[in-house]
Amino acid sequence: MTNSENIDPAIAATAERGVIAQFARRKLALFGLFLVLLTLGAAIFAPWLTAFDPNEQMFDGLTLQGAPMPPGGPFTLGTDLLGRDLLTRILYGARTSLIIGVAANGLALLIGTIVGVTAGYFRGWIGSALMRLTDLMMAFPALLLAICLAAIFQPSLWIVALVIAIVYWVQTARVLYAETASLSEREFIAAERTIGASHMRILLKHILPHLVPTIIVWGTLGISTTVLLEATLSFLGVGVQPPTPSWGNIIFENQTYFQAAPWLVFFPGLAIVCLALAFNLVGDALREILDPTQRGRD
């Protein structure tokens, strides 16, 4: 019996290795982490990284005809329509985007997880009530809701984050509801109940760990979505208020001049793509590492 299957020593070895060591072996994940840290660094050290003020409209930031300066010369990435340094605005904009991406998205994930898991595990009338609420939120135009909320509260960065979270938790809740519902039917959950495990214990120790991959994937995907949602809100005037820069409102401020000054849309766009990609790479790696059943397979 014990000799009927010999355990591959390689599997046992990987099982012992820590999360950090495993992470370090993945080159793509390290690259993603590097990009995340780069953005974080840019956000924190923005004042030291650039000689300009993000909101200063410089006279020599515009050509004699009043057009923005192209990249190169004294302004590395060029200037915008009002003669502000684009690099400086992108560096400061990283603050806004990270706060929105991490705070708003994190809050949305938290609400979504609590609602989805509770509804999926208990079902019954609690589940129905929560899911009907989710359906209602889904049916309501998200942008309209965001505009209403933003109009009621005085627009500020944190209010925008809150508004985005309120709009965005719905998808997470839906997905996690379906997954929790199917997990609760699995035999090992029944096995836990027969040994007398409490609901709290089952939820925290046996259901949540299985949802981690989904939460991470939704979390990383959500970062790009929320950054864009913030951009949309800013564009409509109910998001981050000018002149505070955010990657989204830089794009929207300048999109009409896309043909004349493509760098104004290209560089902040690139920043959004890089940040989303970076979080995706890190998230993917974490998902694989945190799943013990994947160990020894790569």
Partner 1 sequence: MNGEKTNLFGALVPKSATFTGPVLRVDGLSISVNTESGLKPLVHELSFDLHRGETLAIAGESGSGKSLTSLAIMGLLPPPAVRVTGGSIHFGELELTALGEYALRQIRGNRIAMIFQEPMTSLNPVMKIGTQLSEAICAHEAISFKEARVRALEALKSVRLSEPEKRLNQFPHELSGGMRQRVMIAMAIALKPDILIADEPTTALDVTVQREVLDLLRDLQHEMGTALILITHDMGVVAEMADRVLVMKGGHFVEENDVVSLFANPQQAYTSDLLEAVPSLGDGSGIARAYKPDDDTLVAELEKVVVHFDVRSGVLGRVTHRVHAVENVSLSIRKGEIFSLVGESGCGKSTIAKSMVGLVKHSGRIRINGHDISAPHGKMTNQVRRDVQMVFQDPMASLDPRMRVGELVREPLVIHGVGNPSEQKKQVGYLFERVGLSRDQVERYPHEFSGGQRQRICIARALALNPKLIIADESVSALDVTVQAKVLELLKELVSELGVSFLFISHDMAVVENISDRVGVMYLGQIVEMGNCEQIFGSPRHSYTKKLISAVPTPDPSRERQSLARLVGDIPSAVRPINETVPHVVLNNIGNGHMIATEDSFT
The residues binding partner 1 (CB under 8 A) are 1-2, 4-5, 7, 11-12, 15, 186-188, 190-198, 201, 205-206, 209-210, 291-293, 295
Give whichever of 101 and 213 is closer to partner 1, judged by the CB atom: 213
Instruction: Give which of 125, 132, 89, 110 is closest to 234, Cα–Cα.
Output: 89
CB of 199 to partner 1, least distance (A): 12
Give the DSSP letter string of 29-41: HHHHHHHHHHHHH
Distance (Å) of CA 55 to CA 49, 74, 132, 206: 15, 17, 45, 51
Give whichever of 1 and 20 is closer to partner 1, judged by the CB atom: 1
Residues 6 or more apart in contact with residue 123 via CB below 8 angstroms: 181, 184
C-alpha to C-alpha distance for 112 and 39, rounded to whole angstroms: 26
Indicate the residue type of 85: D
Give whichever of 288 and 291 is closer to partner 1, judged by the CB atom: 291
CB of 178 to partner 1, least distance (A): 19
Give whichever of 198 and 256 is closer to partner 1, judged by the CB atom: 198
Give whichever of 142 and 197 is closer to partner 1, judged by the CB atom: 197
175 C-beta neighbours (distance < 10 Å), count = 17
CB of 8 to partner 1, least distance (A): 8
DSSP classification of residue 4 = G
- From first CA to last CA, the distance across the chain in angstroms is 28
79, 57 contact by CB (below 8 A): no
C-alpha to C-alpha distance for 29 and 291, rounded to whole angstroms: 16
Give whichever of 12 and 28 is closer to partner 1, judged by the CB atom: 12
251, 268 contact by CB (below 8 A): yes
Give whichever of 5 and 152 is closer to partner 1, judged by the CB atom: 5
CB of 19 to partner 1, least distance (A): 14
CB of 285 to partner 1, least distance (A): 18
CB of 183 to partner 1, least distance (A): 10
CB of 123 to partner 1, least distance (A): 14
Helix, strand or coil, per DSSP, at residue 147: helix
DSSP classification of residue 8 = P
